[in-house]
Structure formats: structure tokens, C-alpha cells
Amino acid sequence: MKGDYQDLVDEISALLGAPATLENRDFRLIAFGAHDSEDDSAMDPVRTRSILTRQSTAAVRSWFEGFGIARATGPVRIPAAPDAGVFRGRLCLPVRYRGIVQGYVWLLDPEPGTPGHPSPDPGPSPAALDAAMEVAERIGVLLAEEAKAGADLSREFLAVLTAGRGWQQDMAVAALRLALGAGGDGLHAAVCVGPWSGEAPASVPGAAAVCVVPRGAGGSGGAGGGRGSDRGESGGGDLAVLLRLRSPDALDPALAAVARLLPRTAEPAGATARRMAAGVAEPARGLAALPAAWEQAVAAARAAVAQPRLGPVARWSAIGPYRLLAVLAADPVDDPSARALLDPAHRELARTAEVFLDCAGQAGRAAAALGIHRQTLYYRLSRVEQLTGLDLDEGEDRLLLHMALKASRLHG
């Protein structure tokens, strides 16, 4: 399909008399026309970086999006901004399918003239722009079909994540590899978004496959914890996304695509539904590594739900002790020493103990973090010891209580 994109980009370049580039909606380069101009300004830093690294920086994306290109239905002219490395103005042709932006075709706008000295190049005519927009619509169809193809692999992807160990998993991996084709054994990252209600989205930029994993399937407890229906509906599942990566350090565009799957506004206070968050596994090469990567993604999502400071999109490498706790705490915590402290009636004491242990047992830091007097802290800690039977001067007792408090968040 890459050749199809190149042919269409070349067609637009011919229609408008200027080299064009095609990027997806996350500003990742897909195809570009030949640059045979001797004008150095035809390759300003922004365009050069886009072609060499196949993506644009977040600042550049923000600059261009500020001109409304994601909402536009026709060509958009964007002025030069030398301070941002944009030495020449741009002409952007939004690529849409059924009203949804799929990407952008970019051309350099002719240099503007000055009073009394009009530009020798008046730019493309309205008729040429209309013809180019028709080609952009054809590109939109291809991009949408490619995204849908990833969603259509849901059965094969789900089988890999839920098959368990042994020959069943080997067969599931072989089927997904066959369906993905040449890119099957490339670099990927697994993502868990949950709790997820309803069907998988029709399109996730950069995704090779998408599916909904029923809560509890494959032994993963899911991002929201607990058990759910077999169909992953009514809040009983988690969304699994298999993201294509060009290099291990190219996760940022993928994370941006995942963030768009999350609600834009915070859940209202007192809401009964669990907060939604996403977890991203470390990049892995080869589909055989997917089950382990999915466990990482689920752990990161569960940690982000439990500890908002980690999210809303948490990378497994950044969740600290939750890397172990999410695996160990498959069921709600019921340790006899922590049982009384975890009763809702003692919520403030549990928070005090957790902050104290987070502060490595330093009373001054803990009191400041809690906004209480140090004597009040000491009184609360003595009540914690009475309820738990633990001695907070003992390292192993501290470790046990700290683990119990952190693990309880995963099922809170």
C-alpha cells in the first residue's frame, strides 16, 4: 500500500507543480515527492527533519494545528515562522474520510510578492487545488482502510493475548504473524486501556491490531480489576492495542494516539465508574513476546488507575513498585495484619501510614506532606501499630504494610 500512497503524492505534486509530502494525523511521514529544486528554502529545517526522521516535533505539530487544519475541509495556507524553523509558508490539504481527518498533504507555498513586485509564481489555480483535493480524498480512503485492517485482526490479536502457554499460544502467534505480513516481526508496543466499555474503535493511528480483552481473560485481571463478562462489554473488558514502532525511542507519537482514546475531562466526584487509564509496555521485537508485553501493559494501566500521578498514560518502566505489586496482587488484599487498617473507617490512618512509608519513615517530611503537626503524626502511627500489630521500627513490618497499602490501591 506504500506504493499507492507514493503514486498519489506524486499525482498531487504534478497537479500543483510543487513537491508534496504526506503525513498521517500524528504527523508521521508516509510519502514525499522528489525535491529537485536548487532553492535552499525548499528544504527548511522542519521539512528536512520530517523527511529524515519521518516525524515532526510536538512544537511543530502544535504550531500547524493552531491554524485549524484538523477541522478544515479545504486547503489551508499557513504563513512562514522563521523562529520555528518554518522558513517558507505551507499549503496544507487535509486528508479526510467520512468527515474524519486521516492525515495531511503538505506543499511549500510560493514566496509572497511585495507591493509593486508581485511574486513570479502565483501558486496553484483554484481548479488545480480542487483536483488535488480529489486526490487527497482517495488517500483518505486508503488510510481509513489501512486503519480498519488493524481492527479486523482483532480475533488473531485476542487469541495471542488469551491463549495461555504452550502450543495454543504458538499457533495463535503464527496466525497473527501471517495476518500482519512482513511487519509482523518488527518492533511493537502493547497498550492496555481500561476499563473499556463497548466495541473496539474502528481506527487507532499507528495500530497494527486492536481488540477488546474480556476482564480476567488470559489470567490478567484487567486494568480495572475484578471479573467481567465474556464479551468485554458493559465495562467488563480492556482495550488492547498493538502499536507499530520504528525504533525503541519512538514511543511519543504512539502515546499521543493512545491518549486520544481516554476521556478529555476528569470523572466527576462521586462517580461510581472506575477511572480510565492506559498502560504501555516496553517495546518488544517479535510477536512471541506479546503475552509478556500485555502483562506489562495491564500492570501499568492498573497502576495508573490506582495512582493518578502515574497517568493517565503510564509506561511500565515508570510505575516503580507497581511492576511487582500488579503481578502479585491478583486478588484483593486480605492480609490479617492490614485487614483492620484497610477498613473504610480507618481511611485517614491508612493514608497517614502510606505517606509516612513513602517518605522513607522520615517524620518531618511525612508531617509536612500531610499538613499536620509532628505529634499528630506520632499519635496516628501509634494507632496504626495498635490496629495492625506491626512495629514500624522494624524493616520487614514496614515492608509488609507498605506492600499491603500499595496493593490495596489496585483493587480500591
Q: Is 293 helix (H, G, I), strand (E, B) or coil?
A: helix
Quickly list DSSP for 2-29.
HHHHHHHHHHHHHHHTS-EEEEETT-BE
Does 272 have pLDDT greater than 50? no
Q: What is the mean pLDDT of the chain?
A: 80
**% residues pLDDT > 70 (the chain):** 77
Q: How confident is the model over 73-78, as a mean pLDDT?
A: 93
How far apart are the C-alpha atoms of 80 and 59, rounded to whole Å? 15
Does 282 have pLDDT greater than 60? yes
Residue 88 vs residues 85, 100, 116, 162, 178: alpha-carbon distances, Å: 9, 28, 21, 51, 45
Q: How confident is the model over 267-282, as a mean pLDDT?
A: 66
Spell out the alpha helix ranges (H) of 33-119. 45-53, 58-65
Does 3 have pLDDT greater than 80? no
How far apart are the C-alpha atoms of 33 and 9, rounded to whole Å? 6
Dump pLDDT digits (tens) for 331-343: 666 778 888 888 8
Angle at 225 (CA atoms; ends 402, 157), nearest 5 degrees:
125
Task: Answer yes or no: are the C-beta atoms of 384 and 349 closer than 8 Å.
Answer: yes
Dump pLDDT digits (tens) for 296-325: 999 999 889 888 888 899 999 999 888 888
Beta bridge partners of 278: 193, 313
Task: Answer yes or no: are the C-beta atoms of 204 and 241 closer than 8 Å.
Answer: yes
Quickly list DSSP for 160-209.
HHHS-SSHHHHHHHHHHHHHHGGGGGSEEEEEEEEEE-SSPPS--TTEEE
* Start-to-end Cα distance in the chain: 47
Task: Answer yes or no: are the C-beta atoms of 76 and 68 closer than 8 Å.
Answer: yes
Task: Answer yes or no: are the C-beta atoms of 191 and 240 closer than 8 Å.
Answer: yes
Spell out the alpha helix ranges (H) of 19-125. 45-53, 58-65
227 pLDDT band, cuts 50/70/90, is: very low
E strand spans, 40-183: 76-78, 90-97, 100-108
pTM confidence score? 0.56
DSSP state of 40: G
How far apart are the C-alpha atoms of 397 and 388, rounded to whole Å? 10
